[in-house]
Copies of this chain bind each other. A is one copy, B any other.
């Protein structure tokens, strides 16, 4: 059975496009508090996995050994926009652990921050690996590898100690063993979990059921601009929530949320991979759970003249939450 429509995009009097998907809201005991659609099929968690990929950095003792700051932990959890506030911090972190941009295995990526792009165009600067939205995650991987005395050359190999430590964390917190995996945009392994298992793990991170959890959440919610960037959706939601939620998007329509006060984890995936729909859906869930004020879920469809010609909005199925 197809997943329900979660988000609609209108133009004039018609619904022009629809986005189907699935959502799971789960508590730390593993009870499903609310769900829509197929929450049992594994989905690639993509960058929404980053808080778990950063856990070994904190829990192995690597962060302490290398004096990793909360800002750097936030960058380890980030899909950042490649702004100088991101790239300079990652570069300094790499230098401190005796590494450099050349040690990053992620490829170069065009920053998504427009003023940065404009400056780079003017100065003929090419995108580097530091600009890759995952460069902080990779700096975290290198820090753990150094701390464990493991090779730094092949840290994205599925059998490397860094990746094994991540898999152990993910499996332990999700109660889901031997997940399927694929290669992410940054060349790191990415695990596929059912939304139930992923939301369960997020609830357990939210409620501090693993030693590094509190630091991950504190770092993300204290430095939301480092987790994403200027004008970004994750950043705006975390600012609006004032510590009540840590959120992380993932490519292909994934969004994850950790709610410490409510003791909940939220995971959703848009079937077609559209980020616009994932943004509307997660914002509406957070509005219904009263952790952000209203106004983040709907968005106008604007034409090149600046006129509003339609609307992106949560669909009927989502109204049942909370």
Contacts and interface: CB of A to CB of B under 8 A. Distances in A.
Interface of A: 2, 9, 11-14, 16-20, 42-44, 105-109, 117-118, 121-122, 124, 132, 180-187, 190, 192, 252-253, 271-274, 277, 303-307, 309-310
7 contacts: A13-B182, A106-B304, A107-B306, A121-B122, A122-B122, A183-B309, A186-B305
Copies in the complex: 2
B2 A16 contact: no
B44 A304 contact: no
Nearest to A11: B182
Contact of A44 (B11, B44, B124, B253): B11
A12 B183 contact: yes
B183 A307 contact: yes
B105 A305 contact: yes
Contact of A252 (B16, B105, B186): B16
Given A122-B122, A272-B274, A13 B180 contact: yes
Contacts of A44: 11-12, 14, 16
A50 to B, nearest CB: 16
Contacts of A17: 252-253, 271-273
Given A18-B272, A122-B121, A253-B17, A185 B12 contact: no
Contacts of A192: 12, 14
Contacts of A118: 121
Q: Which of A43, A118, A304, A309 has the most CB of B within 10 A?
A: A304
A182 B253 contact: no
Contacts of A121: 117-118, 121-122
A277 B277 CA distance: 16
A162 B197 CA distance: 57
Nearest to A129: B304
A13 B179 CA distance: 12
Q: Which of A106, A122, A183 has the most CB of B within 10 A?
A: A183
Nearest to A156: B305
A307 B107 CA distance: 10
